[in-house]
Amino acid sequence: MRIKKQEIFYAIAAAILLGYVVSFSTLLETPKQGWISWVFMSIGALVIISMNIAAKKLVAHKKGCEAETDLWTFKRFWFYEKAHFPFSIPAWFILPLLTIWLSAGKLWWLAILTFEAKPTYSRIRERWTDLTEFDIALIAAAGVYANIILAIILKACGLSQLAILCAWFAFFNIIPLGKLDGAKIFFGGDDGRLLWLFTAALTSIVLILINVAGVAATIISSIIGALILTAIYYIFIERR
């Protein structure tokens, strides 16, 4: 399990951008305090992103593959083959800035990282080189769960601002769009859909409760709620 220099650069760039996004409204109202908030939230965002990356790399290592972090870009803008731009659009940079500028800091967009997984020598040696869609789904989900756990820990330590940022970061990463982690989970086959639903429900409930309920209540309620919603979906939709 290793991390490349470019991945470190991506993590730092993403953290600075996230710090700016969540501090933007403060920068508009009180610039001096806003700069302090930007630095503080950027450091916190770097911890959040590092936890996300580390969890995915650990699970990828256990699966005999390597997960390489990248910034979210896209070329294709429609479904047919020629519907693509001649160059990659840096969605990781454009969407967060457009969202906060157009909303004057009232709305955020925090999904900016993605990853690619490829088998390592240990997997090739075992003659099972192909990564299944569910393997990739599990790797992507690991990052989301790591951030949920971190959000709970931050809440327990009294770092409510960072806990909320961590929960929002996890929430945006379950959006099934493009090459984002949420899409990798959702399109991970039949089991992937169930995994996505449970993860999405868990993350959403944590996000709702983390600022209004205690740590124990947040953990118990989110797990029970996610299990109930997943069971209902499986019984009435998936099993049919």
For CA atoms 33, 35, 40, 42, the dihedral sign is positive
Per-residue pLDDT tens over the stretch 43-77: 999 999 999 999 999 999 888 888 999 999 987 65
Q: Rounded mean pLDDT of 96-103? A: 94
Q: What is the pTM of this model?
A: 0.90
Lookup: tokens for 76: 């294709």
- The CA-based angle 163-168-234, given to 5 degrees, is 115
User: For residues 95 and 41, is the Cβ–Cβ distance under 8 A?
Assistant: no
* 203 vs 213, residue with greater confidence: 203
For the chain, strand residue ranges (E) read 65-71, 74-76, 84-89, 113-119
Statement: residue 82 has pLDDT above 70? no
Question: Any bridge partners for residue 234, and if so which?
Answer: none
Q: Rounded mean pLDDT of 30-48? A: 93
Place of tokens 């756990």: 149
Statement: residue 200 has pLDDT above 70? yes
Buried b (16+ CB within 10 A) or exposed e, 158-188: eeeebbbbbbbbbbbbbbeeebbbbbbbbeb
Q: Rounded mean pLDDT of 198-204? A: 96
Secondary structure (3-state) at 39: helix
Mean pLDDT score across all residues of the chain: 89
